[in-house]
Chains A and B, each alone.
Chain A
Amino acid sequence: MSADLDQLENQSIYILREAYNRIDKLALLWSIGKDSNALLWLCRKAFFGRIPFPVVQLDTAMELPEVYEFRDRIAKEWDLNLVVEQCPPEEEMDQTLPPLTRAAARKTEGLKNLLRNDAYQGVMVGIRRDEQATRAKERVFSPRSLEGDWDVKDQPAEFWDHYKTRFPEGVHVRIHPLLAWTELDIWRYSQREGIPIVPLYFARDGKRYRSLGEKNITFPVDSTAATIDEIIAELQVTRVPERAGRAMDNESEDSFERLRSVGYM
């Protein structure tokens, strides 16, 4: 039974179509991880095959080789309008951030450059509420200043599927079509739909990547799950948080929150 996946799919397609209709200049952020792959898949469903906006990778040149291989193959097969935005180097980051968090902040700066140079009014991001406590507070349509600041204390009302789609000058909006999905939903959906997955998610020699990030700040976790079925079985019982292998989340109590309040995804 996967009526719940149908419901999630229908809701995400509704959000994608609202974004495409209401927001003038739109891009999708593709991290090449399992969530944004599912998001691309949903876009193809929503728009009947072809994604009608650019798909942007914020590149730090620090991804694992399998990730780049996957990116180039899928971009070609799915006829994506792929834009690779090079992120500025670590030396230019806020030096008061802890070192690993600083490495992650490069993506925030890459995103700011993208927004500044290409004047996007909306970017779609495949984050989920169950990933991380601050993401749990997100709106589906979440307005940001040009600097990416997120005012968590004054977010717009969002109810009955009416989203905030009008903004003053200088504000852009993050659109989060997967907010209501869980990690388990993503895997069950990927399995049902046959969505391609970077092989790093599957266990080799007793370890797998549960959450995929740059090689300098992401580590594989102990696991024997070598297929999607096994991953699903693992997730039913695990008590290890999804982002346990993400160094920057766990560097200090508020490192992820600091990242997000200035514009991290």
Chain B
Amino acid sequence: MPHSQLRIVIVGHVDHGKSTLIGRLLNDTGSLPDGKVEQVQEMSRKRGMPFEWAFVMDALQAERDQGITIDTTQIHFKTAQRPYVIIDAPGHTEFLKNMVTGASQADAALLVIDAGEGALEQSRRHAYLLHLLGVRQVAVVINKMDRVEFSQARYETVAHEIKEYLAELGLFPKAVIPISARNGDNIVARNTEQARWYLGPTVIEQLDSFRPQQTSPDQPLRFPLQDVYKPDDRRILAGRVESGRLRVGDTLRFAPTGASAKVVSIEAWNHPETVLSAQAGQSIGVTLDKRIFAERGHVAYHEDSAPVLTHRLSVRLFWLVSEPMQVGRTYTLKIATAEHRVTVEQVTAVINVEDLTSTPGKAVHRNEVAEVVLRSRSPIAVDLAAELPRTGRGVLLDGHDVVGGCLVVEAEDSATANITEVSHTVSAEERSAANGHRGGILWLTGLSGAGKSTLAMALERALFDRGWQTFVLDGDNVRNGLNAGLGFSPDDRAENIRRVAETAKLFADAGMVVIASLISPLRDDRARARVIGGDRFHEVHVAADLATCEERDPKGLYKKARAGEIAEFTGVSAPYEAPEQPELVIDTAALSRSEALAHLLDYVDETLGKASLRTGKELTYVI
């Protein structure tokens, strides 16, 4: 017997008999532990209730007292074919989030419908959610057939009704099985008396013909990063391959940065053979041939099949909480491991799951399904859910909580969207030729008091006097205007740096030499600035040891920080992460002011001056 288990979810309207069906499945396949039935019989007797198979399932005290299933639960059982996990999902409307939790893990679903009542609103809602959650293998079970004397006509009516509904969703049930869970008819054993007219499979036969959900490795590669580890001298990008296949030697490109590098190795611990490839579903770690900036949320792919990079996407969503989703409100959208702040631009349609009609709206309430347009400030790498479900769906968070789930149905490619960059008629080469130098960003990083501002202003003067287009973006100065309103929390500091980097890029695009002077203590923040600046970005470490800086203390800040008046002061109570591979290091503790300036001028001249214009083309192709 194979060990590989199939996960099935059993859904349906409250009181249509899901728990009874499960109790029966367990008993009739001989999967209950010894003494369990007797134990439940004894419990029922003590409470003066008739024995119910459902009690076997309902292990919790509260459930036994109320006679309902509260949360989704999981139960293991075996047929002669293979082991199963049953996920029981409660039918109460207010317990939707538990139903979603249970159903999303399933390979296949059984939809239970009461023969007398037919497919009520909840049955339809559950069917709709199965479809949204991506459960494609479904069988319908029409229960309580004993109460309608196993009437074939009644069976046909209910079967026809639910089949029509499911077909509209694109779901085609593998079977519609008439059963009596209470009596155990057509579950394991057939009722050959009353249901002689039924020739389809029993519940067990149907379960055994479902297939485990499998992802094909032939799809485009998506490898979203979970984390970056440095266990030793290796730098390992860790994550799970969500689709496709990745091989050692592949060139990967990363969204949203566009960085690219080759896979040198797939790392594995306690693995006898060298791993050469990995495919969908595998949690892996890779090392690359280049030190590119990559972090959690970035998605690796192969050049020829990129995800869409978008700022605006249409999603089909389900809402789980009492506070409604509203147009204009901002939430966090999490797709794979990436998180983005998104604003609800439009509620295009609220879908009535009863008859599948839809109406536009301003809000989406709990348990509703809707089509919504979301807009994000940062570019989101996504796929369409219909093509690559794992990177085409996500959850919405509000504060601490997951409040909804969504599938991407349309994504506006930023490259072709309204915000597509208009191409300039003046080229970068023309600007360089006119100015006599190239545009660029000199990013001066270092401790407070290292001499960044002094050096920046001196460089600006020197370049200006030579007729260069140049301007200083000073960390303190931008905080009065561009970045007024940002504080000193880690998020605000990161945003401060991002804005300065974007501004610097505009200046550099205009042909100027921008001298950005910011402490920018964190490597990751500077790495993001480098991504923004691209190959125009030059990191200059204005280095001076802490003691020297503290002795200089031009603004009296160290004194205040030591006295505890400034919290999180770089070098004193917050870390400074020195650049690992800056383009230039200027040690102001060892060099005089004029020597330091001379070094910097030489570098600028060499990389951005006339010489660089002549050899510019060749330089571009070096590496």
Contacts and interface: CB of A to CB of B under 8 A. Distances in A.
A20 B34 CA distance: 40
Contacts of B70: 152-153
Contact of B61 (A156, A168, A257): A257
B356 interface: no
Contacts of A17: 226-227, 238-239, 283
Interface of B: 2-5, 32-34, 43, 59-62, 70-76, 83, 85, 97-98, 100-101, 103-105, 133, 226-227, 229, 231, 234, 236, 238-240, 267-270, 281-283, 285, 296, 320, 334, 390, 393-395, 397, 399-402, 405
Interface stretch (A45-53, A79-87, A94-102): A45-53
A139 B72 CA distance: 10
A85 to B, nearest CB: 27
Given A11-B283, A45-B270, A159-B101, 5 more contacts: A10-B240, A14-B283, A162-B402, A240-B33, A257-B59
Contact of A166 (B103, B268, B296, B399): B399
B238 A160 contact: no
Contact of B270 (A44, A158, A188): A44
Contacts of A4: 2-5
A229 interface: no
A71 B397 CA distance: 41
A234 interface: no
A157 B402 contact: yes
Contacts of A168: 400
Interface centre among B83, B85, B98 (most CB of A within 10 A): B98
A185 B72 CA distance: 22
Contacts of B268: 45
Contacts of B97: 156-157
A112 interface: no
Interface in A31-51: 44-50
A1 B269 contact: no
Nearest to A20: B227
A152 B62 CA distance: 10
A160 B104 contact: yes
Contacts, number: 138
Interface centre among A1, A44, A157, A168 (most CB of B within 10 A): A157
A241 interface: yes
Contacts of B101: 139, 155, 157-159
Contacts of B75: 136
Interface centre among A14, A18, A136, A193 (most CB of B within 10 A): A136
A141 B395 CA distance: 15
B310 to A, nearest CB: 20
Interface string A1-17: 11111110111011001
A9 B240 CA distance: 12
Interface centre among A46, A160, A193 (most CB of B within 10 A): A160
Contacts of A180: 85
B227 A21 contact: yes
A44 B62 contact: no
Nearest to B42: A253
Contacts of B3: 1-2, 4-5, 184-185, 188
Interface string A112-132: 000000000000000001100
Contacts of B399: 166
Nearest to B32: A239
B270 A156 contact: no
